[in-house]
Structure 1
């Protein structure tokens, strides 16, 4: 089934379930604009998740989802809240949804895992999930190893369920590229950071806007949990400690709470400003609605122009006509 019909949304765009950031103001605005708003439950208590769900319902009467980081210890309590509050779509990451599939299906919940590889994509399809998000290493936050350009066509060739492309998408050209690689939609995180409705400190938004294509780096590979963020003094210190084979305790000493420090306090030097490599394309703060409509208008224009490409047999080259 087409992803927009499956979820009851106008535009095939998911807003990334960014921990501490993807809360009611952003999720509600995205759903109102025709996309799929997603509440990021990472770091939330069950009571706080319930509060964010109810706030989102006050903002929108359109479909929205909750992202579940399955490595969190309170996942059973969070799932209970999702069920009790009648949320019908979940995206998942950082673990397998296998133990929870029976209860999800019992309550008619659409399950969409975020995957970093073809192998995991196949496993998720075998579990009976409804769709998957194929996310390349260009994305911000927790990442895999394979680029979107390489991963997405391999995943779409390997599974028969709808695939959403993610990682390195911030304009209509990225959306068109994802469709060309076989995706039915896109998931976007970094571009949503620079929206009016995104509930982050202004310094965080400015850090994204002022970044370029080389501003991000990955930390945490030594811990088995690589994370992409914008470079700053804390990140440099973390990487130096990694080079010295520092212990997990030493690394966590400087990184614990760093995301909250950046998101809420605006400390973009010692906090963790998680963002993707595409942030060099993010140059202004707009409303969510302006962002989504302009991206899809551009995507349509790009796709229309691609329809004019033809092969000139004699010269054996592609031209626009």
Structure 2
């Protein structure tokens, strides 16, 4: 038995696994190209991607556009035939410029969350680039699809459903995440599939629905394929790979994390997030960490009220300066035991999934 490929319009990924975008700098050209070469969909995170550019602090927007273009070019050189995408947060201040830069570089897919990407179809007009919103409910899937259909006569090429077990910023309130009856990803996936049927019943093409958040192994993948998902998005597993673009100390933090180390944190952008409770988080629990430099990168962030600068914290982490860094992780990171090559991980996941199906 073989797994059914993931079809996104005319794009066909032999393995129905999308590697989640991890920023700042955790999933760049090296990781995304390795996943694409192994038959999955490799994703570059566009968040503050220009952090290595010399003018990053003084010319943030342009440094990020330049950084994004460089990483897409590099990834394409490393994976000429693989499927490559970028993850761009709707909340970034230069969202339109970043989308246009990705389209200019002929990226295959743009995935967008942290807000609803209502104008995205307009920004990719005339290109072959596919677009996929990230949603956390059937209602959100219905809203964005209706808006795109009404304003642009465009349906999503794919919809990613992110549940409460994901790493990084989460599309749920802190109360929902801490509740005993917290949102259930299989249930949300079913609701999204149901919500999208209304659009497909009008003779439109099928919209692939992708389950994301806390998916760890082949058993998990099989569970979502059985309920009608076309594939899954996984990030945490790919952070602990040889090709992951982060510093080795960052990867090791994932492998060393125990279950009790994984906690919910408040982000300066007003959304809760999931991270490893390290020295940085412990400092935050005592007091705010003053912001000495604001990049003006995220719309909802106010440097005068923010407990810390999320850009600085994420850049420190990816560079291995963990005592001053924020390490976002998925709920199941504590299960990781070692750092492996992407090819080996993909083969293991496919084998487990086939067995579970």
> Scaled by the length of structure 2, what TM-score is found?
0.78
CA contact (8 A) 1:2 1:162 kept: no
CA contact (8 A) 1:89 1:110 kept: yes
What corresponds to 1:24 in structure 2?
Answer: 29
What corresponds to 1:36 in structure 2?
Answer: 41
CA contact (8 A) 2:19 2:43 kept: yes
Matches within 5 A, 1:252-291: 252-253=307-308, 255-264=310-319, 266-291=320-345
For the pair 1:120 / 2:147, whether they are aligned, the reply is no
1:84 deviation in Å? 1.5
What corresponds to 2:239 in structure 1?
Answer: 193
CA contact (8 A) 2:96 2:123 kept: no
Give 2:84's match in structure 1, choosing from 64, 77, 80: 64
What corresponds to 1:3 in structure 2?
Answer: 6
The Cα offsets for residues 282-310 of structure 1, whole Å up to 9 and x where unpaired, read as 2111111110111011011011xxxxxxx
Distance 2:106 2:33 in 1: 16
Q: Tell me: CA distance 1:250–1:5, structure 2 relative to 1, closer, same or farther (3 Å).
A: closer
Q: RCO greater where, 1 or 2, for CA within 8 Å and sep 6 or more?
A: 2
Q: How many residues align?
A: 298
Higher helix share: 1
- 2:44 partner SS: strand
The Cα offsets for residues 52-90 of structure 1, whole Å up to 9 and x where unpaired, read as 011011100122111111211222221221222111311
Distance 1:301 1:50 in 2: 40
- 2:119 partner SS: helix
The Cα offsets for residues 93-112 of structure 1, whole Å up to 9 and x where unpaired, read as 12222223123243232111
Q: Tell me: CA distance 1:241–1:64, structure 2 relative to 1, closer, same or farther (3 Å).
A: same
CA contact (8 A) 2:85 2:111 kept: yes
Give 2:104's match in structure 1, choosing from 74, 77, 84: 84
- 1:257 partner SS: helix
- 1:249 partner SS: coil
What corresponds to 1:131 in structure 2?
Answer: 158
Distance 1:255 1:17 in 2: 17
Give 1:48's match in structure 2, choosing from 67, 72, 79: 67
Distance 2:307 2:328 in 1: 16
Distance 1:150 1:221 in 2: 27
What corresponds to 2:211 in structure 1?
Answer: 165
1:150 deviation in Å? 3.6
**Unpaired stretches in structure 1, ≥5 consecutive residues:** 304-321
Distance 2:68 2:308 in 1: 27
Q: Tell me: CA distance 1:131–1:39, structure 2 relative to 1, closer, same or farther (3 Å).
A: same
Comparing 203-212 with 134-143, which one deviates more in the overlay?
203-212
Distance 1:256 1:130 in 2: 30
**Unpaired stretches in structure 2, ≥5 consecutive residues:** 50-63, 149-154, 173-182, 198-206, 289-301
CA contact (8 A) 2:5 2:15 kept: no
The Cα offsets for residues 127-167 of structure 1, whole Å up to 9 and x where unpaired, read as 22111110111111011233424422222232232110001
Distance 2:265 2:309 in 1: 13
For the pair 1:111 / 2:131, whether they are aligned, the reply is yes
Q: Tell me: CA distance 1:239–1:255, structure 2 relative to 1, closer, same or farther (3 Å).
A: farther
CA contact (8 A) 1:219 1:239 kept: no
1:2 deviation in Å? 7.0
